[in-house]
């Protein structure tokens, strides 16, 4: 197993919510990463951010790990959830709320509702 794979496994195992992204949650460096980090930040989700731009082996490693070609990638309780389009859809449908609730992840339900109202 590669170092990147080990690092990824350790990261997703030790954090309830992890976003592998381009940049950081304070300073996203692509629109898709910015959108997902923005949703999580707005909903008050406590999440670990991993900047794949800081480490080329990690950048490729996460794609191999999830068998998913794009960044960002969201993990909840060690499970791969999806990328920007999937997270956006799940936010709009309320599925993301359900996922967080079922996994005991704290988030602001009012904020989630505001996102849906603003985009309805």
- Distance separating alpha carbons of residues 23 and 30, to the nearest angstrom: 7
pLDDT of residue 30 exceeding 90, the answer is yes
Tell me: domain 3-118, CATH 1.10.3720.10, correct? no
30 is in an annotated binding site: yes
Cβ contacts of 90-94, under 8 Å, gap ≥ 24: 91/39, 91/115, 91/116, 92/116, 92/119
Give residue-wise pLDDT tens across range 75-99. 999 999 999 999 999 999 999 999 9
Farthest-apart Cα atoms in the chain, separation: 45
For the chain, domain boundaries: 3-118
Helices of type H across the chain: 3-14, 31-42, 56-66, 84-93, 95-102, 109-118
Q: Mean pLDDT across the stretch 48-65? A: 95
Q: Mean pLDDT across the stretch 98-116? A: 97
pLDDT at 1: 59
Question: In which residue are the tokens 């794009």 written?
Answer: 70
Mean pLDDT of the chain: 96
CA dihedral 51, 54, 60, 61 (to 10 degrees): -70
pLDDT at 108: 98
pLDDT of residue 44 exceeding 70, the answer is yes
pLDDT at 2: 72
pTM equals 0.95
């Amino acid at each position: 197993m590669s170092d990147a794979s080990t690092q990824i496994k350790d990261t997703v195992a030790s954090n309830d919510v992890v976003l592998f992204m381009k940049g950081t949650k304070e300073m996203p460096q692509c629109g898709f990463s910015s959108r997902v980090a923005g949703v999580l930040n707005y909903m008050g989700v406590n999440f670990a951010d991993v900047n794949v731009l800081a480490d080329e082996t990690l950048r490729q490693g996460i794609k191999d790990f999830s068998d998913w070609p794009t960044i960002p990638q969201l993990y909840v309780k060690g499970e791969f959830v999806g990328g920007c389009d999937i997270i956006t859809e799940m936010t709009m449908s309320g599925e993301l709320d359900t996922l967080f609730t079922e996994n005991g992840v704290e988030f602001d339900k009012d904020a989630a509702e505001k996102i849906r109202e603003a985009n309805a």
